[in-house]
Amino acid sequence: MENKTFIYLDNAATTIPSKEVVALYNEIELNHFGNSGSNHALGYDALKFLNKARESILNSFGVKGYKVYFVSSSTEANNLAIKGVARKYSSRGKHLITSNIEHPSVLESFKQLEKEGFEVTYLKVNEKGIIEPKVLEEAIRKDTILVSIMGTNNEIGSINPIKELSKITHKYPKIIFHVDTTQDVGKTDMDYSDADMFVVSGHKIHGLKGSGALIAKSNISFEPLLSGGVQEEGVRAGTVSVALACSLAKAIKNSFSIKNLQEKRAFLVENLKKIPGISMNSNENCSPCITNFSLTEKKAAVVVEGLSNKGIYVSSVSACHSKGESFSYVVKALGKDDKDAHNTIRVSINESTTIEELQIFIKELKNLLETIK
């Protein structure tokens, strides 16, 4: 990451892997390559590292009575949590609750379950992109078995009151509370024990793509998504990459040492608000890492391309659906009009982002808005 010749402001999409994490991956992959399920010395050696990785992850999150299931991404973790629980406990009820601004991996999972006969209530967020506790409480029914509400929204950075929502769900013994914490790990102050299930993605925290985990209370069972072996206690078939598991544990541990980013975000927001033709979508209490705004006079896609040509990388909409869709359903859910929803830009910073880089971004953004017709 030294001697960068570009300004990277798209950390919510992915982060630059740390050299420490890459080095650990290489060490494990080359020198502890055994299959953790094999009944010989190399297998036992690999299993030892795998168990240490699980222990490290639980310690980093400060939770007890939970299990770690290694998967390929938080997308897979969300799918496993939602579909796995809904199908496993369908005899208890078939009503599910989520919000209307969840990540596609969550929304598409619920849409699939609807086709299987489940009934889903999609809670509406308020103008700040937050689920109000009373809205959740009013939606709960006797046959509700699962509630899934994200911690931090990946597009606008709004932060839900997870502790309050958790208190409501835990008044009902049948309900399992799942939280998509992909954009929270190492970035927001959260008590992870408020969630019955939560997720992590390595590449969002300077880890490696292909590494992720579902962390769930030990008494929760799942209907597996994959058929095959009995790896991960029968929950996720397929040989576990011990190297990816260890690299993920290291990335998680490192993420909790990240310093406060509020000062940088405050500088960014203050300067964006001074630029004509910009409408802010992120509120003052959003994640310090994510700032989202709409262009009222210019096309966001053109501006993003113009910035890219200058070596400054931001995103329009979300990396999860920007290729085929330029419309932000998240911004639309805030009560904004179609024009705003079609012209969003997300700037996502991390601990290595400097004030100087943000100054250059602001300068180049102003120039582009003044020169683009």
Positions marked catalytic:
320
Instruction: Identify whether the C-beta of residue 14 lies closer than 8 Å to the C-beta of residue 204.
Output: yes
Instruction: Identify whether the C-beta of residue 78 lies closer than 8 Å to the C-beta of residue 180.
Output: yes
> 96 pairs with which residues across the strands?
120, 146
Instruction: Identify whether the C-beta of residue 13 lies closer than 8 Å to the C-beta of residue 348.
Output: yes
Radius of gyration of the chain (CA): 21
SS3 at position 279: strand
> 201 pairs with which residues across the strands?
212
DSSP 61-81: HT-SSEEEEEES-HHHHHHHH
Can you list the positions of beta strands (E) in the chain?
Answer: 7-8, 66-71, 95-99, 119-123, 144-148, 176-179, 197-201, 212-217, 278-280, 290-295, 312-313, 344-348
Instruction: Identify whether the C-beta of residue 185 lies closer than 8 Å to the C-beta of residue 206.
Output: no
Instruction: Identify whether the C-beta of residue 7 lies closer than 8 Å to the C-beta of residue 361.
Output: yes
3-state DSSP percent of the chain in helix, strand and coil, to 5: 40, 15, 45
Q: In angstroms, what CA-CA distances link 104 with 41, 75, 107, 153, 155? A: 42, 9, 5, 11, 11
Distance, in Å, from the CA atom of 188 to the CA atom of 350, rounded to the nearest integer, reads 12
- Cβ-in-10-Å burial (0-12, 13-18, 19+) of 135 comes to middle
The tokens for 246 are: 């260890």
Distance, in Å, from the CA atom of 24 to the CA atom of 242, rounded to the nearest integer, reads 11
Q: In angstroms, what CA-CA distances link 253 with 22, 54, 200? A: 14, 12, 12
